[in-house]
Amino acid sequence: MRAITLDIETTSASAMRGRLDPAQQELTVVAIHDSKTGEYSSYFKEELPRLWPLIEQADLLIGFNSDTFDIPILNRYYPGDLSAIHSLDLLVEVQKALGRRIRLQLLAEATLDRGKSGSGLKAIDWWAQGKYDEVRKYCIEDVRITRELYDYALTHHKLKYKDLSDIRDIKLDTRTWNIPQTKPALTYTLPI
């Protein structure tokens, strides 16, 4: 099964005002991990045609807050419908198990013993300052964290989070995460 773990960065005035409306977000970069090759890569908006064939070959898209943020925004640039690809949103899985949302930072610190290298708002600032490589590196690091959390959950059937000064477990049912789903053939960018 080929899984693509992804994260995107955006820039918009709505994010600056503390409101993240996906319809008002402008994509800056997408980073992925491809389970087939084990490689991390990233794509600026103008490079997206190189990304689509990889996405179309995926059996699973993995992300964090990806079902309501990353995939809908990325879908605006894709010539087809990315929601046709089976997805696993770790934030949704955590919320189902715990009853509330937990920030990626808190999961990473408790589960992986390290935090994120920045924030989405910082990435917006870097983009505005022309620090495009900083945004790219930050996005790839978020993908690395998401992928490592996914792998940890598959192995241990749980993630950990910080709750004030305590580390707590979130038990997850991962039995179906790696079962391939029937999916329609996507050939919007691949030769027929």
Q: Answer yes or no: is 62 within a domain.
A: yes
The percentage of residues in the chain with a pLDDT greater than 90, rounded to a whole number, is 70
CATH number at residue 109: 3.30.420.10
Among candidates 22, 78, 23, 37, which has minimal Cα distance to 55?
Answer: 78
Stretch 150-160: mean pLDDT, rounded?
Answer: 97
The pair of three-digit structure tokens given for residue 24, joined into one six-digit string: 């008002």
- Do residues 10 and 26 lie in contact, with contact meaning Cβ atoms separated by under 8 Å? yes
Q: Is the pLDDT of residue 36 over 60?
A: yes
The DSSP output letter for 46 is G
186 falls within a domain: no
Give the model's pLDDT for residue 187. 52
Classify residue 123: in a domain, yes or no.
yes
Please state whether beta strands 26-34 and 166-171 pair in parallel, antiparallel, or not at all (unpaired).
Answer: unpaired
Q: Could you tell me the residue range of the domain that residue 100 belongs to?
A: 3-171
Band (pLDDT 50/70/90 cuts) for residue 11 is confident
Q: What is the pLDDT of residue 47?
A: 96
Count how many domains the chain has: 1
Assess if residue 182 is contained within a domain: no
**Does a structural domain hold residue 124?**
yes
Its pTM stands at 0.88
Band the pLDDT of 17: cuts 50, 70, 90: very low
Which of these ranges, 50-59, 107-116, 167-176, has the smallest mean pLDDT? 107-116
Domain-embedded: residue 43: yes
Q: What is the pLDDT of residue 142?
A: 95
- Per-residue pLDDT band at 184 (split at 50, 70, 90): low
Query: Where residue 67 falls among pLDDT bands split at 50, 70, 90?
Result: very high
